[in-house]
Structure 1
Amino acid sequence: MKTRIISYGLKKQGATKEYPFGPEIMVLKVGGKMFALIFEGAEDEFRLNLKCDPIIAENLREQHDAVRPGYHMNKKHWNTVMVDGSLPLSDIFDMINHSYDMVVGKLPKSVRESILEMK
């Protein structure tokens, strides 16, 4: 599951990966801004931080035990998703899409256009 989630994030238009916090923490960026922070520990400890609209973030936390306030992040705007098998992969992909879209939506117009031109 870990490989599928990472691959999905990297397939997003203009996505890049970096390791600014060490070899176990992958950061996915678009337009130089982070949209996912992936803790690449053991499979049973796999989790990722994703940007989220504050209202949606609260709703997800109430609905799912695997969704928690963002670990080491602004807890209003970020969720930590524990990949423990309790959430369908499609839900995790939806959360990645939402995070990516939120970040792209805040990029300067010229950067957004250059990302769209990569298709």
Structure 2
Amino acid sequence: MPVKKILVVDDSPTERLSLTEFLTRQGYTVVTAENGEDGVIKSKAELPDLILMDVVMPGINGYQATRTISRDDVTRSIPIIMTTSKDQETDKIWGMRQGAFDYMTKPLDHDELLKKIQAIA
């Protein structure tokens, strides 16, 4: 199934805007959430084809939100790519254990992100 709608969950307005502009130029529909709690709610309401999830956010962090989304019957089939500044191998392993499909560290390489999105389809 091709990826058409992407949910970007990030507490940084700059990061949300940058990803939204880039992905929109690539032909994707983008929905945003500014924290983990909003991300969980929008994942159910919007049912995106892919979620890009930051980790370090106030309230529910990206690991918790990923765990919640990946264990919910309604949203468990939505792939999640964690996009974070946390670059330790243990961070990546923990993210994958929470249900992430993939893990990328910031600053994001847009070409690599596109390849990962296309690989999901």
TM-score (norm 1): 0.40
In terms of fraction of residues, the more strand-rich structure is 1
Normalised TM-score (structure 2): 0.39
